[in-house]
Homo-oligomer: A and B are copies of this chain.
Amino acid sequence: MKVGLIGAGRIGRIHAENIVHHIPRVQIARIADVAADKVRDWAKGLGITQVTTDVRELLADPEIEAVLVCSSTDTHADIVVAAAEKGKHMFCEKPVDLTLERARACADAVAQADVVCMIGFQRRFDPTFSALKARVEAGEIGDPEMLVITSRDPGAPPIEYIKHSGGIFKDMLIHDFDVFRWMLDDEADTLHATGSSLSDPAIAAAGDIDSTAVTIRTKRGRLCQINTARRAAYGYDQRFELLGSLGMLQAGNVRPTQVTAYSRTAVSSDVPEAFFLERYRTAYALEIAHFFEAVQDGKPVRTTVADGLKALELADAATRSWREGRIIKLGAA
């Protein structure tokens, strides 16, 4: 099966390397990247020689059955619609788009073309998170009642990135909103979000915040609290815990090593894996393998374009809740 890679930046390269090393039946036939010249050497090392700046050229190749959309977010919607029209299956990095309108247009195009469109919510493939989900589904904690998500980056991205990120809720919490829906298997009824800019005045100046506290009450009355920060001095912090009627399950961070040190003053172990590339290394590999299995076996993907849309709706509601200082009723106009 031949596939095309659109966007060979950090995340695009991870997917490409996972395919080359671990999915022998899939071949990356073409790469399109706005900076094609900077990509060629790396691509050659993987045995890929067709590198272009022209996405349309890639999409026009009839041998290419699927594309990986890893370009910048503002390009996603056009590519998704175009790829759907060409009948290509798609793996698209999150978010589909920063606006609900364009994201809905993508979902419509995908539905009409009847192609697979999987969204890159890699956390659903993290071994710890997915093991926890399986245990919830097996009934280990009875009915889920309360979810607490802690999601913190090791540091804020450059302010230029933040300015075009769509805001912290769409850029960072979109993953947490997806984890919320996945873990509780329920939909939001009301959402409250607040936040502050505590680490850098430039973030506030850019109209954004770096610390947020979100509360969701679901249609079935379950509760979810999400706390996030752009800067955790100790590294990338990705935990959640789910209280149910019969017990609780916690998903903890991953430590690089299992060394424990005893000094005069403390017993200490490693800080968590540094950032998402390390923390979700295995998740990225499992995610992309899942995509190709689903495409080839005609099975449903775990993270659909509808999931992407739902997460975006929550991110949009959170943004409004924070900006307008009010509780948002989901599903209401």
Q: Which residues of A contact B (CB under 8 A)?
A: 21-22, 24, 45, 127-128, 131-132, 135, 140-143, 145-146, 148, 150, 152, 190, 192, 194-199, 211-213, 215, 217, 221-225, 227, 229, 231-234, 237, 243-272, 325-327
B215 touching A263, Cβ below 8 Å: no
Q: Is the CB of B194 within 8 A of A128?
A: no
Contacts of A234 in B (CB 8 A): 247-248, 262-264, 267
Q: A194-B192, A248-B262 are in contact. Are A257 and B131 (CB under 8 A)?
A: yes
Q: Is B247 within 8 A of A263, CB to CB?
A: yes
Instruction: Indicate whether A233 sits within 8 Å of B247 (C-beta atoms), given known contacts A146-B213, A192-B194, A217-B213.
Output: yes
In the bound assembly, the distance between CA atoms of A127 and B252 in angstroms comes to 20
Closest chain B CB from A289 CB (angstroms):
14
Assembly CA distance A24 to B197 (angstroms): 47
- Specify the chain B residue showing the minimal Cβ separation from A248: B262
Most B C-beta atoms less than 10 A away, residue of A221, A224, A237: A221
Report the separation of the CA atoms of residues A252 and B250 in the bound assembly, to the nearest whole angstrom. Answer: 14
Contact (Cβ within 8 A) B135 A211: no
| Residue picked from A22, A211, A213, A245, most chain B C-beta under 10 Å | A213
**Beta-carbon contact of A268 and B271 below 8 Å:** no
* A259-B128 in contact given A152-B243, A267-B268 (Cβ < 8 Å): yes
Q: In the complex the two chains form, what is the Cα distance from A192 to B197 in whole Å?
A: 19
User: Given A128-B258, A227-B225, A192–B195 Cβ distance below 8 Å?
Assistant: no
Interface core residue of A232, A233, A250 (most chain B CB under 10 Å): A233
Q: Cβ of A199: which chain B residues have Cβ within 8 Å of it?
A: 145, 245
Knowing A229-B145, A233-B247, A327-B327, the reply to whether A262 touches B271 (Cβ < 8 A) is: yes
Give chain B residues whose Cβ lies under 8 Å from the Cβ of A140.
261, 263
Bound Cα distance A133, B93 (Å): 40
A21 vs chain B, min Cβ distance (A) = 5
- How far does the Cβ of A34 sit from chain B's closest Cβ, in whole Å? 28
Q: Give the Cβ gap from A202 to chain B, nearest Cβ, in Å.
A: 16
B268 touches A266 (CB 8 A): yes
Q: How far is the CB of A251 from chain B (nearest CB, A)?
A: 6
**B21 touching A198, Cβ below 8 Å:** no
CB distance from A174 to the nearest CB of B (A): 19
In the complex, what distance in Å separates the CA atom of A45 from the CA atom of B267? Answer: 39
Q: Is the CB of A245 within 8 A of B325?
A: no
Closest to A326 in B: B327
| Across-interface contacts of A246 in B (CB, < 8 A) | 233, 263-264
Known: A247-B263, A248-B261. A150 touches B152 (CB 8 A): no
Q: How far is the CB of A15 from chain B (nearest CB, A)?
A: 16
